[in-house]
Amino acid sequence: MKSTVWLPLLTFICRSASSNPILGLFDSTCQVVSGECPNKNVSFWLYSNSTRENPILLNPLDLNPWDFQPPRPLKILIHGYTGYRDFAPNSYIRPVLLDHEDVYVISIDYGPLVRYPCYIQAVQNLPLVSQCLAQLINNLVDRAIVANDRIHLIGFSLGGQVAGQTANYVKRKLKRITGLDPAKPLFILGPDSRRLDQGDADFVDVIHTDVFGRGILRAAGHVDFYPNFGAQQPGCMEENMQDPGSCNHERAPRFYAESINSTVGFWGRQCSGWLVQLLSLCPTTGAQALMGYHVSDELRGSYFLQTASKSPFALGKTPDVDNRQTLAKFHLNFDHNEIDNDYEPQLLEAFLELEAVKVVDKMDEANLDKQLNWIDRPEEEPLSRNFIN
């Protein structure tokens, strides 16, 4: 991509970037917990349609097979920073699942480990949370209480990263992970093992709704959906004037919940990358693919769509608009594989991340280095290494 495009974009993005949550860092009550699993700060609550008001608190070491009879698929919902078991995505998704799908739902609760304002410590506590979740999954599958291929992890924000890290500890490859606006701050510069990516399950689908703020911009799954460019979500300025970013972020679980029983559906069109789409250089005719709960696990690539500004958000399929002439002006083939990387947006994202870390860094350099020690690890991520050295 030419640098003439690059500079205005940089300015645009810097202006749109929301304030960074890691600034609440040096509260003395913030703790990194080094604990064992099971852990009383990480609890698992089992819901079925008939027990939705009285969920069962599971003991990962003493599971009762009868709690999972009759056999049904299992959906595991994972909240994020400042969450708990009734917080997003649970509040949006669990009721719709229990109403419309014959499934079990486990809502994990690790609220004590991700309290405000302790974002860095929350990030550092995730491996413990992930180990405890993996222990539960391993025990469920080892004891043939739930079949591995019927388990689906759905994580919002930091919970999306928990889902990705859980893959590091399970005995069998996970079948499906859904990442709902997986958290960005402190994840871009780390190794893949810290971050949700397509290696973490047979199928990883991701929805991005706050790519300039709390959510990650780069593609993180086999398929990535970017409603409204994954950026400013319609309706959020009105809904939460103080903090539209938080509204953008929560659109991901809201869209996902709606996708479970939507009659029209969220349909997106493929484009080779976010920047290409932003420049309107992708075809606006042809096949469309369904986003959300009923996404096809054969789908690959990045998809873009518009939504309504309030519930119901789904707009169904988009009418075709023939833009071949515009594309021809840019000498682009109608086959959109011609420009095929989002290297620069990713570079930019890493840059912004580094800036954010630097702000914190000035506050307490030694402490931060210690806290973020994984950043300096030399493996993987050539992109971030350029910045660090």
Burial 324-346 (b: 16+ CB within 10 A, else e): eeebeeeebeeebeebeebebbb
Q: Is 100 in the site for ligand NAG (CB under 6 A)?
A: yes
Q: Are 268 and 223 in contact, with CB atoms under 8 Å apart? A: no
Decide: is 39 part of the binding site for ligand NAG (CB under 6 A). Answer: yes
Question: Per-residue x/- mask for ligand NAG, residues 112 to 151, rule CB under 6 A?
Answer: xx--------------------------------------
User: In whole angstroms, what is the distance from residue 298 CA to residue 126 CA?
Assistant: 30
In the complex, the smallest distance separating the C-beta of residue 327 from ligand NAG, rounded to whole angstroms, is: 36
* Contact between 48 and ligand NAG per CB under 6 A: no
Contact 190, 373 (CB under 8 A): no
Smallest distance, Å, CB 37 to ligand NAG?
Answer: 10
> Is the peptide bond prior to 55 cis by the omega test (within 30 degrees of 0)?
no
Choice between 113 and 352, CB closer to ligand NAG? 113
**Binding residue for ligand NAG (CB under 6 A) from 2, 40, 331, 362?**
40
Q: Closer to ligand NAG by CB, 35 or 191: give it.
A: 35
Q: Catalytic annotation on 43?
A: no
Query: Is there binding between residue 279 and ligand NAG (CB under 6 A)?
Result: no
Residue (6 or 84) nearer to ligand NAG, CB: 84
* Catalytic annotation present for 100: no
Residue closest to ligand NAG (Cβ): 35
Catalytic residue among 181, 205, 210, 224: 181
Query: Which is the catalytic residue, given 79, 208, 249, 336?
Result: 249
Phi, psi of 204 (to 5 degrees): -120, 120
For ligand NAG, how many residues bind (rule: CB under 6 A)? Answer: 18
CA–CA separation, 85 and 46 (whole Å): 11
Interface region with ligand NAG, contact rule CB under 6 A, candidates 32-40, 169-177, 288-296, 341-349? 32-40
Among 24, 35, 127, 265, binds ligand NAG (CB under 6 A): 35
Active site residue 249: yes
Task: Give the Cα separation of 58 and 196 in Å (integer).
Answer: 26
Residue 41 binds ligand NAG (CB under 6 A): yes
Q: By CB under 6 A, is residue 307 in contact with ligand NAG?
A: no
Q: Tell me how far, at minimum, the Cβ of 28 lies from ligand NAG, in Å.
A: 13
Do 151 and 178 meet the contact criterion of CB atoms below 8 Å apart? no
Calpha distance 55→45 (Å, rounded): 6
Q: Which two tokens stand for residue 266?
A: 């969220």
Minimum Å distance from CB 231 to ligand NAG? 26
d(CA 158, CA 80): 4
Among 31, 193, 306, 323, which residue sits at the site for ligand NAG (rule: CB under 6 A)? 31
What is the full DSSP assignment across 189-209?
SS-GGGS--GGGEEEEEEE-S
Distance (Å, whole) CA 58 – CA 149:
21
* Packing angle of the helix pair 119-142, 158-166 (nearest 10 deg): 40
Q: Which helix (H) or strand (E) holds 388?
A: helix 382-388
CB closer to ligand NAG, 110 vs 203: 110
Q: Which of 48, 107, 157, 262 is catalytic?
A: 157
What separation in angstroms does the CA of 383 have from each of 345, 349, 387?
11, 10, 7
Using only C-alpha atoms, the chain has a radius of gyration, in whole angstroms, of: 21
Which sign does the torsion angle of CA 42, 258, 292, 216 carry? Answer: negative
Which residues, 240 to 269, sit near ligand NAG by CB under 6 A?
261-263
Does residue 102 interact with ligand NAG by CB under 6 A?
Answer: yes
**388 touches ligand NAG by CB under 6 A:** no
Q: Mark 206-245 with x for binding to ligand NAG (rule: CB under 6 A) and - for no binding.
A: ----------------------------------------
Which residue type sits at 222?
Answer: H
CB of 96 to ligand NAG, least distance (A): 4
Which C-beta is closer to ligand NAG: that of 23 or that of 96?
A: 96
Q: Which of 43, 379, 363, 92 is nearest to 254 (CA)?
A: 92
Rounded Cα gap, residues 156 and 180, in angstroms: 5
- Catalytically annotated residues: 157, 181, 249
Contact residues toward ligand NAG (CB under 6 A) are 31, 33, 35, 39-41, 49, 95-96, 99-102, 112-113, 261-263
